[in-house]
Amino acid sequence: MRWQIDQFTGRFGKYCRRMLSYLTALLISVLHLIPFYILINLALKTRQDTSSKWLPPDYLYLNNFTDVWTQSHLGTALLNDLIITTCTVALVVFVGVLAAYPLARYPTRWNNAVYTLSISTLIVPALTVLVPLYKLIVDLRGISTYWAMVLVLTTFFLPTVIFLYTGFIRTIPRELDEAALIDGCNRYEIFFRIVFPLLKPVTASVIIIIMLGVWNDYRFSLFLLQKRSVQTVPLVLSQFFSQFQNNLPLAAAGSLLSMIPMALLYLFLQKYFVSGLAEGAVKG
């Protein structure tokens, strides 16, 4: 009898705890959606509408989106973002994977020192070298050019890429290289024909991580992209925002539009967004 009661309260307790978990999960989801809910409400209202931001409008008004698109030249900004992101991602992956291979495969004392030196640049915040870096780019006539922006971004994302690739290459068995060497491959063929194709999964994560960082970059763009014609989306929107501070619906519409490209990628490729980072963290 006693046993049966225990069983019952046990099961009931478990059920209650389960319901509580679901309620908490629901609450968390709602709380985390609030900022975006407010943003959408704001973007759909006219400037004159001063009703509570918590209530959706009872009319349909999409002019904010078309206005912000034409007034802030978002199309050009998107194209600039696309050019800079594509070039940076391609360059950083190429340079990074080249560097990671010898550092992971031949850990001599000298190579380990190079590795430490590369990774320690992870903790150098870009802005601590803001003054001298800006001066350097001015001297190289690189202000408001794509190439300077791409090279600087590549350099500052390189430590992350080298870190992720060396970690991954170390997990590929060395015997594979040795077998290929015996079969007559030279060391470069081993890298390009044997190791490189095995790096596809980690490359997907690397591309996503870097793409996100470059696409959303503000601190470098703010200093290096001063001409309107080369500016990226975050920069254009921040200027637009300070210019039209009293027209919040317009700014909200711009913010919302700027989220769309990455949000779409995120929804379709979520696996890569989330897993690459977590795996790198746990294994690394």
Partner 1 sequence: MCRSQYQELNMDIIQSSETNLRETRTTNRLKKFFDSPASLNLMYLPALLLFAVFIYYPITQGIKISFTNWNGYSAHYSFVGLEKYRYMFNDMRSYKVIVNTLIYGLGSTLFQNILGLAYAMLLNSKLKGQGIVRTIVYFPVIVAPIIMGYVWYFIFQYNGGALNDIMIALGKEPVDWLGNGPRAVWLITFANTFQYMGVAMVVYLAGLQAIPKEYLEAADVDGASGFYKFFHITLPLLMPAITVSIVLNIIEGLKLFDVIISMTNGGPGYASHSLSTMMSDLFFAGQDAGFAAALGNLMFVIISLFGITSLKFLRRKEVDL
> 12 to 71, contacts with partner 1 by CB under 8 A?
21-22, 24-25, 28-29, 32-33, 35-36, 38-39, 42, 50, 52-54
Kindly determine how many residues on this chain lie close enough to bind partner 1 according to the rule CB under 8 A. 91
Long-range contacts (CB closer than 8 Å, 24 or more residues apart) made by 115-121? 115/162, 115/166, 118/158, 118/159, 118/162, 119/159, 119/162, 119/163, 121/158, 121/159
- State in angstroms the smallest separation of the CB of 74 from partner 1: 13
Out of 84, 133, 207, 253, point to the residue binding partner 1 (CB under 8 A): 133
Per CB under 8 A, contacts with partner 1 among 152-191 are: 152, 154-156, 158, 162, 186-188, 191
- Does position 151 interact with partner 1 (CB under 8 A)? The reply is yes
Per-residue tokens: 83:
């050019």
* Cβ–Cβ < 8 Å for 103, 162: yes
Nearer CB in complex with partner 1: 194/265: 265
Q: How far is residue 147's CA from residue 139's CA, in Å, rounded to a whole number?
A: 14
Stretch that binds partner 1, among 5-13, 65-73, 198-206, 234-242 (CB under 8 A): 234-242
Provide, rounded to whole angstroms, the least separation between the CB of residue 63 and partner 1.
19
CB of 125 to partner 1, least distance (A): 4
Q: Which is nearer to partner 1, 230 or 255 (CB)?
A: 255
User: Among residue numbers 73 through 132, which ones bind partner 1 (CB under 8 A)?
Assistant: 95-96, 98-99, 101-103, 105-106, 110-111, 114, 117-118, 121-132
Q: Which stretch binds partner 1 (CB under 8 A): 5-13, 71-79, 168-176, 247-255?
A: 247-255
Q: Which of residues 192-211 bind partner 1 (CB under 8 A)?
A: none
Of 135 and 193, nearer to partner 1 (C-beta) is 135
b/e for 158-196, b at 16 or more Cβ within 10 A? bbbbbbbbbbbbeeeeeeebeebeeeebeeeebbeebbe
What's the rounded Cα separation, in Å, for the pair 211 and 219? Answer: 15
